[in-house]
Amino acid sequence: MAVFYDTVFEAIEDFIFSRRYQAPTVEQETPPPIIAPMALAPATTMSTPLGSPPLVPLLGQVDIEAILAREAEGKDLDWQGSVADLLKLCGVNPTVENRRSLAEELDVADNGDDEALYAAVMRELEDRGGLVPAELKS
């Protein structure tokens, strides 16, 4: 089944963040345990007030580099420096039109500067909850 996105960045974001549970997060090496329904007290005995911390710990930041590296295994792609290869890895056709659209979405001057666009993609992924190493954002 084909999935259609409103923007090119949305397709990249979905590709990466939909895989967040398939790779360890930054703060933990394995996903948090799943609490069996029998382990929870019945709702009538729970007195957790509104606004209190959740019962199950929230996941840490998504390790963007780990997810992309795992997805790129066995593929001849320079996803760490090429917008076109990053798009290919994320299942997006790396046409000039798509790269121009991505540049427009991220407010990057479309002067053919692949580095500036790549850095903008990484900064935006970081702004949306991803952990991106400094060398990928520069």
Cβ neighbours of 53 (radius 10 Å) = 8
Alpha helices in 18-63 (DSSP H): none
**Structure pTM?**
0.70
What's the token pair of residue 111? Answer: 């002067």
For residue 84, tell me if it sits in a domain.
Answer: yes
For residue 45, tell me if it sits in a domain.
Answer: no
For residue 79, tell me if it sits in a domain.
Answer: yes
Cβ neighbours of 24 (radius 10 Å) = 16
Query: Model confidence over 66-123: pLDDT tens digits?
Result: 999 999 999 999 999 899 999 999 999 999 999 999 999 999 987 767 899 999 999 9
**How many domains, the chain?**
1
